Structure 1
Amino acid sequence: MSRLSSAVITLFWCGNLFLWISGGAMADGMEPETSVVILYEENGEATINVKNTDAGPALLHSVIQNIPEDPEPLLIVTPPIARVEPGDTQLVRFISTLKEPLKTQRLKRVTFEGIPQVRAEGRATIGITIRQDLPLILHPQGLPRHQEPWKLLKWTLRGNRLTVHNDSAYVVRMGLEVHLLPSRRPAILPRTYILPGEVLSTSAGEGVARVSGVEIQPATVYGYSATAYEASIVVEAG
C-alpha cells in the first residue's frame, strides 16, 4: 500500500494545536503540565514538565518564539530536543540571558512538539503530531504579583475610536471582542494581549452614544477565562 500524502490541519485549543496527518489512527503528543510558563527574574530560570502521551517514543522539540512587538532574545531553552519514552516526562528549563534588569513584564511564546519515530517502510499509518503553543511571561524582580492586571487598563472613547492604555508594568490578556455599555455594542481589538506601555485602538462603529463603560473578557495569568469585567471609560469630545 502506498503512503498517503500529508495534509495539515490547524486547531485552536488553549494554544495552537497543529496536526500533521499522513494516513490509520495514532495520536502523538507532548502534554505540558501547565498552560503558561512564568520566569521570575530573581530565580534566573523557570521549568516545566512535558509528558509524552503517545504509545511510542518521540523527540520533544521545544522552541522559544518572539512576538512581533518584542523581538529581543531574553532567554534560552534546554534541552531544545530530547527523546522521551512513552508515558515518561521531560523537564524543560528556560534560562534567563538578560543583560539588564527587567522594568516590566515581557511576553514570549514557547512551543512543544512531539516528533514520532519513523514507522516501518510500507506500513499505512496516520501519525498526528500535536504542537502546543503556550505564553511565556518574564516577571521583573520586585514587581508585585497582580492577579487582576486588567483592572489597571484605562479606556477612552473619542468619536468612534475606542482606545485602551496599559500604563502598568503587566502584560494583560483578554478576548478580542469587547462590549460598550449599556448598549452592548461590540468592538474588536487588534489582538488578545496588550503589553506594558502600549496603546491599542479600534473602531467602535458609527452613531455611538451614551457610553458608560466597557465590558471585557479577561484571561487570568494561567490563561483561563475570568469573570467578565466592566471597566469605566472616559468619553472625550470628538
Structure 2
Amino acid sequence: MKRPGRYPSRVISFISLFIVMSQGMTAGASPEPHMASLNADLAGLAGPGGLPEKSDPWTLLEWSVEGQQLVVRNDSRYVVRLYRQVNVIAANTNLMLPNTYILPGQMHRLELPRGSDLGSEPSVRIYPASACGSAVKPYDVVLKRR
C-alpha cells in the first residue's frame, strides 16, 4: 500500500507554464491582452507499471574514468535524484552534474581538471536524494577505469 505523499521515482516530465497578462483598461491603453511566458521545470514523477519501488536507485549508477573524464551512466529503469555536486575524493576537487537527476539510459561526461591525481583506488562522493527530494546520506563510489 502506498503512503500518502510518496511518489514513484521513474520518469520526469517538464511542464512549461504560460501566463496571460492583460493590460488594464485605461485611457489610451490597448484593449488586447498581452502575452508573456514564464518557463519553469517542474518534476513530475511517474513510472511504468510493474516497476518495483527502489529506495536507493543511485546504487545502480555506473561511475568510471575514461581518459580525463569522469563518466556516469544510468543503465537502470529508475530516475536517480541527487545534488549536482560530485566530490572527486583523491583529487580533492568538485565537479558539477548538469541536472539534479539522471534519467534512465542517460550518460554524463564531466571533464577532470588537468593533472588530477586520482590515486590507486579513485572514488567519488555523491549526495543522493529520495524520490520526494529529501537529502539522504552521502554515498561513496569506487570508480572503474576504462
TM over 0.5: yes
Pairing partner for 1:148 from 45, 52, 56? 56
2:91–2:116 contact (8 Å) kept in structure 1: no
1:166 to 65, 74, 83: 74
Task: Indicate whether 1:106 and 2:15 are aligned.
Answer: no
Structure 1: which 5+ runs fail to align?
1-32, 41-104, 116-120, 122-130
- Shift, 1:188, TM fit: 1.5
Aligned residue for 1:196? 104
Say whether 1:179 aligns with 2:87: yes
Specify the alignment match of 1:213 in structure 2.
Answer: 123
Question: Matches of 2:77 and 2:8 in 1, distance apart?
Answer: 15
The one-character-per-residue Cα deviations of 1:105-133 (angstroms, maximum 9, x if unpaired) are: 321135789x9xxxxx9xxxxxxxxx986
Q: Which structure has greater strand proportion?
A: 1
Residue 234 of structure 1: how far off its partner (Å): 0.6
Q: Give the unaligned 5+ runs of structure 2.
A: 21-25, 27-38
Q: Report the number of matched residues.
A: 131
Query: C-alpha root-mean-square deviation of aligned residues, in Å?
Result: 3.1
TM-score, normalised on structure 1? 0.46
TM (norm. structure 2) is: 0.72
Distance 2:98 2:112 in 1: 12
On the 8 A contact 1:190/1:201 being kept in 2, the answer is: no
Which structure has more relative contact order (CA 8 Å, sep 6+)? It is 2
What is the rounded CA distance, in whole Å, between the counterparts of 1:184 and 1:167 in structure 2? 28
What is the rounded CA distance, in whole Å, between the counterparts of 1:106 and 1:230 in structure 2? 25
